[in-house]
Structure 1
C-alpha cells in the first residue's frame, strides 16, 4: 500500500514534470515561429535583390530591408464580426483612381485595456484578406503612410489572429512608379506597433 506522504510526493513530481513539459513545448514553438519569420524575411530580401519583378529600382546596391525582431506578442487574437451584404468601397490610391475593395469583416481586439477595431478588406480574385493600417510609429520608426498585412487568412469562425510581425511597406515606398492603396481612416491605431518592417532606407547614390 502506498503511503500518503509518498503519494503526495509522486503527485508533485508528476505535476512538476507536466509544467516543465509545457514550458519546453512553448519555448520550442516560439523558437520555431521566430525561425520561420526570419527565413521568410530572408527569402523576401533575396526576391527583392534578384527578381525582375522586384520593386527595387537599384537592385545591385540593395542591402536588404529592415525589420523589428520577431515578437510573438504581436500575434493578436481578435474577435471577428462579419460584414453582411457589404458593398464594395472605393479605397484611395497614391497615384491613380480609387479601387474597389469589399469590406469583409471587422476585427475587434483589446490592447492595454482599450478596445480597437480594424476593417479587413477583400479584393475580387485574391486568396487572402487585406489589412492596411496606420499606427503611432508611422513617420518615426515606420513609413509615414502606413503599412499592410497582405496575407490575412480567411477566418473560419468568430476569431482571427492578426500577426503584425508580417506588416510590410507598400511597394510605392521602394519605387515611386508604383501606386498603392491608402489605409482607410477606420484603420488608424493610436499606439505604436513595433513589429514587422521598419522604414525603408534606400541605397545611397554615393559610390563606396
Structure 2
C-alpha cells in the first residue's frame, strides 16, 4: 500500500497539469516549476530547494509535438518493472505508439500500472517512459517520462515538451521505474526537462 501511495504522489501533479483542460507546453512547465518550489510537493532535497529558481528546459519546439497512432495490444502479460531500488511494481503493456519525427518512423510502448488502474481517478492513466540520444549529455542519464491518458480513438498526441525527469534524478530517496530497453529512441529529443545537475 505504501508503494501505491508513493506512485500516486509521483504522478498526481503531472496528471493535474493535464486534467480537464489540456495545458500548453509552457503552462505545464510553469506548473512543474511551481511544484518544485513548494516544500510540500517538491522532490528536491531541502538544500537544493533552498537554492531552487527554475528547472532547466529545452526551448519549447512544436516539432516535438507529434501525432501518434495507438495500436492497442491484447493479452499482454503482467510484468515486474525494474526500478532504481528493489521495488518492482507490476505493469502491463497497453499498446504501441507509432509516429514520425525528423523523417524517422519511431515506436514507443506505453504501459499501465496494475495497482493504479484499479483506482477510479487513475483507471485511464498511461505511463510513457523513454530514453534518447540526449541522455547523459543534456538530459538525465536514466531517461524521462510522459504522463498520458487513454484516448477514445486510435490517435494520440505526444508532447515531448512535457517530458519530465524521474524524481530519483533529484533525490535518491525515491524509487523510479527504469526505462525499458524497447523504449530507447535512436534520435535526440531536445525537448522537455534537461538534467538537474552533474
TM-score range, shorter chain: 0.7 to 0.9
Where structure 1 has 5 or more consecutive residues not aligned to the other structure, the ranges are 1-34, 203-208
* Equivalent residue, structure 2, for 1:13: none
* Equivalent residue, structure 2, for 1:178: 174
Matches within 5 A, 1:1-208: 36-57=24-45, 58=47, 59-124=49-114, 125=116, 126=122, 127-150=124-147, 152-201=148-197
Given the two structures, how large is their TM-score scaled by the length of structure 1? Answer: 0.75
Secondary structure of the residue aligned to 1:38 is helix
Q: Compare CA radii of gyration and give the structure with the larger one.
A: 1
Secondary structure of the residue aligned to 1:66 is coil
Question: How many residues of Structure 1 are paired with residues of Structure 2 in the alignment?
Answer: 167
Secondary structure of the residue aligned to 2:27 is helix
Structure 2: distance between partners of 1:107 and 1:169? 20
RMSD between aligned residues: 1.7
Q: Deviations over 1:36-61 (max 9, x none)?
A: 33233222212211232311112211
Shift of 1:88: 1.4
Q: Deviations over 1:142-167 (max 9, x none)?
A: 011100002x1212112111110110
Where structure 2 has 5 or more consecutive residues not aligned to the other structure, the ranges are 1-22, 117-121
Shift of 1:180: 0.2
